[in-house]
Amino acid sequence: MPTRTARTAWNGTLEEGSGQVELTSSQVGTYDVSFPKRAADDAGGTTSPEELIAAAHSACYAMQFSALIAQAGGTPESLEVSADVSLGPDSANGGFKLTGIKLTVRGEVSGLDEAGFKQAAEDAKAGCPVSKALTGVDITLDAALVS
């Protein structure tokens, strides 16, 4: 399996500086980052490590879940996955930490009942490589079939 690379160029202090994150392997884009916008409710056209983790987690989870649905005898017609990644203070160690990730999935699946769907959803949460990398973060799951 290949190694994927991203690169960040940063200038200035945490509070006044800014940077650009480049998705180097895919070359699909370069995105602005700044700490003040990272901590603000309105991202104002910048991304953040949390948003990038959310993107990675939702994509990884969708892939893992589709594989497990098929292994359970179902057919994933469509899966809509979102990941909400929260940042907050780290009172034990200082600074900040990821305080939680909420995965939400709605799926149109044939060949599985609700119980089979939910079991595959939980197994995907545990088995997705990004979930495994983030075991120090509380990850919750809201999974439901839609028709």
User: Would residue 26 count as lying in a domain?
Assistant: yes
User: Would residue 132 count as lying in a domain?
Assistant: yes
Closest CA to 49 of 23, 29, 21: 21
Decide if 139 contacts 121 (C-beta within 8 A): no
Give dist(CA 49, CA 13) in Å, integer.
Answer: 17
According to DSSP, the β-strands at 96-110 and 139-145 are parallel
- 93-139 pLDDT, tens per residue? 999 999 999 999 999 999 999 999 999 999 999 999 999 999 999 99
Q: Report the 10 Å Cβ neighbour count for 26.
A: 10
Q: Summarize the confidence of residues 28-45 as an average pLDDT.
A: 92
Q: How many domains does the chain have?
A: 2
Residues 72 and 141 in one domain: yes
User: Would residue 85 count as lying in a domain?
Assistant: yes
Q: Report the 10 Å Cβ neighbour count for 29.
A: 10
Confidence of residue 147 (pLDDT cuts 50, 70, 90): confident
pTM above 0.75, yes or no: yes
Which three-class secondary structure state does DSSP give residue 10? strand
Rg of the chain over all Cα atoms, to the nearest angstrom: 18
Residues 32 and 63 in one domain: no
Residues 80 and 25 in one domain: no
Query: What's CA 13's distance to the chain center, in Å?
Result: 27
Residues 95 and 132 in one domain: yes
Query: Count of alpha carbons within 13 Å of 142, Cβ hemisphere only?
Result: 9
Domain of residue 108, CATH code: 3.30.300.20
User: Would residue 2 count as lying in a domain?
Assistant: no
Q: Is a pLDDT exceeding 90 seen at residue 41?
A: no
Boundaries of domain holding 16: 7-39
Residues 100 and 64 in one domain: yes
Own/partner contacts of 40-49, CB < 8 Å, gap of 24 or more, are 47/21, 48/87
Residues 68 and 137 in one domain: yes
Residues 28 and 57 in one domain: no
Confidence of residue 65 (pLDDT cuts 50, 70, 90): very high
Residues 121 and 63 in one domain: yes
